[in-house]
Amino acid sequence: QQQVKQSPQSLIVQKGGISIINCAYENTAFDYFPWYQQFPGKGPALLIAIRPDVSEKKEGRFTISFNKSAKQFSLHIMDSQPGDSATYFCAASDLQFYGNKLVFGAGTILRVKS
């Protein structure tokens, strides 16, 4: 119930291409879905986040698509660049009951080839 399943485990994309990472959840009480980017040896940094009352949110080259009925959400990175090569984590939280406690997906290692 508390799990967030993330796929793929790793992804190789050509420079300029679109990177797509998917996550699925079971707990319908989750009401906050952030994506984090992590470089080796660093802490995660918030990329973009969405609430379930909207189906899409875009910030620059990063877009979250959210499908409430399917209990799935995805991250799209447009015009992927070598500097985007990092590990990406989706997460979810039940803000009402558990506050800011996040449940993380397993992570996706993205490599953008130049």
Q: Which residues in this chain contact other proteins in the complex, by CB under 8 A?
A: 32, 34, 36, 41-46, 49, 51, 89, 93, 95, 99-102, 104-107, 109
Q: How far is the CB of 97 from other proteins (least distance, A)?
A: 13
Nearer to other proteins, 45 or 54 (CB): 45
Q: Cα–Cα distance between 72 and 81 in angstroms, integer?
A: 25
Nearer to other proteins, 99 or 114 (CB): 99
Q: How far is the CB of 33 from other proteins (least distance, A)?
A: 10
Q: How far is the CB of 112 from other proteins (least distance, A)?
A: 18
Residue 99 corresponds to which tokens in the numbers above? 């506050």
Which residue type, as a one-letter code, is found at position 80? S
Nearer to other proteins, 11 or 17 (CB): 11
Query: Which parts of the chain are beta strand (E)?
Result: 4-7, 10-14, 19-25, 33-38, 45-50, 56-59, 62-67, 72-77, 86-92, 103-104, 108-113
